[in-house]
Amino acid sequence: MSEFDSKASDWDKNNIHLERAREIANQLLETIPFRPGMKAMEFGAGTALLSFMLQDLFSSITLIDNSLEMIRICNEKIAESKLNHIRALKTDLETEPFDDKFDMIFSQMTFHHLSDVGKMVHTLHDLLSEGGILAIADLYTEDGTFHDEGFTGYKGFDPEWLSQLLTQAGFKNVTYKTCFVQKKIEAGGKQKEYPVFFMIATKPEQDKQ
């Protein structure tokens, strides 16, 4: 069972999730040269807040998540919206093979939950078509207080380190900037800020490397 199964039903009711997805969508709209007919994947889609904000930009969107409940919510939203170009699949890309090609893969707040980021950037590189774009939004390095005790993922990332991983995996033109600041109230009522970066990278075309 995924750690997010119990959170799925209330996920879209959290204003922070909505605000964060909206800001990341804005960054994508400002940065990416969208063209007709693009196929997209949202990796770690959750309830697909981000994909539904971008639904008109793609000919197809594949939602990937390892939480059965998150995928169930996605399928409910797809049915309610009567959309036939979005599909939701329960798949764990860390352990299960996946055979398809995409013009764009985007992800928000998923990478820090991975067990091996280095392996995943190679997996995503393979899933992109030549000239395809990877967009990642995730936490800058933090002190471990963003998650509750027992969290086993990454405590955010140094974007320079992540940029080097992407370059080593074959990506080009890696850029990043701060796109959102998530605020949380700690015990005692003190507010703490956790900045989120937005990073994009391109899989080069063979004859242009």
pLDDT at 1 over 80: no
How many whole angstroms separate alpha carbon 30 and alpha carbon 137? Answer: 14
- The predicted-structure confidence for 42-71, as pLDDT tens digits, reads as follows 999 999 999 999 999 999 999 999 999 999
- The predicted-structure confidence for 73-121, as pLDDT tens digits, reads as follows 999 999 999 999 999 999 999 999 999 999 999 999 999 999 999 999 9
Q: Is 7 in contact with 96 (CB distance < 8 Å)?
A: no
pLDDT of residue 136: 98
Q: Is 92 in contact with 27 (CB distance < 8 Å)?
A: no
Please give the model's pTM, rounded to 2 decimal places.
0.94
Q: What are phi and psi of 168, to 5 degrees?
A: -65, -30
Residue type, 175: T
What mean pLDDT comes out for the span 121-147? 97
CATH 3.40.50.720 fits 5-204, yes or no: no
Question: In this structure, are strands 172-185 and 191-202 parallel, antiparallel, or unpaired?
Answer: antiparallel
pLDDT tier for residue 206 given thresholds of 50, 70 and 90: confident
Which one has a higher pLDDT value, 26 or 2?
A: 26
Q: What is the 3-state secondary structure (H, E, C) of the chain?
A: CCCCHHHHHHHHHCHHHHHHHHHHHHHHHHHCCCCCCCEEEEECCCCCHHHHHCHHHCCEEEEEECCHHHHHHHHHHHHHHCCCCEEEEECCCCCCCCCCCEEEEEEECCHHHCCCHHHHHHHHHHHEEEEEEEEEEEEECCCCCCCCCCCCCCCCECHHHHHHHHHHCCCEEEEEEEEEEEEEECCCCCEEEEEEEEEEEECCCHHHC
pLDDT at 144 over 80: yes
Residues β-bridged to residue 137: 108, 198
End-to-end CA distance of the chain: 41
pLDDT of residue 123: 98
pLDDT of residue 207: 57
pLDDT of residue 4: 82
pLDDT of residue 127: 98
pLDDT of residue 208: 53
- The predicted-structure confidence for 13-40, as pLDDT tens digits, reads as follows 999 999 999 999 999 999 999 999 999 9
How many whole angstroms separate alpha carbon 142 and alpha carbon 192? Answer: 11
How many whole angstroms separate alpha carbon 114 and alpha carbon 112? Answer: 6
